[in-house]
Structure 1
Amino acid sequence: MSEIVKVDVFKKFKNFELKVNFSVNEGEKVLIQGPNGSDKTTLLYLIYGVLKPDSGYIRVFNKNPSVELRKSEM
């Protein structure tokens, strides 16, 4: 199976730090679950490229989501 999403990021905010490391392979389903304020939306913003991580990387179909994927949409 091929890897669709690979996330290994660190993002620091005023009151907290977000550290995430996971991958999603073809055919897998993922559930992002947590209480209000647990940064589910922040994680999605990082994956989509709306926010940039302070360190680490995100690859979607082996491309940088904030640059390479948006260029391919044009």
Structure 2
Amino acid sequence: SQIDFHLSQVHSVLFDEVWAINAMIGVLPRIDRAFILDPMSRFFDTEDAGSMTEMMRLVLPTAYYPIYSCEL
């Protein structure tokens, strides 16, 4: 779970690879890959993602890791 992951970070546990899911790309400091359930157009072309929209518009253009997504 997210809480278990954050607690492990506090206690210096290291991981080979870290994946973020959805809006967690705006929270986790070191991400290797991300899986985002919505197509990118939902964030850039509409307001359909609700309160996630603004954060995703800021974070997605600077993502340095592969992002896996779906299409409607």
TM-score normalised per structure 2: 0.27
Structure with more helix by fraction: 2
Structure with more strand by fraction: 1
TM-score normalised per structure 1: 0.27
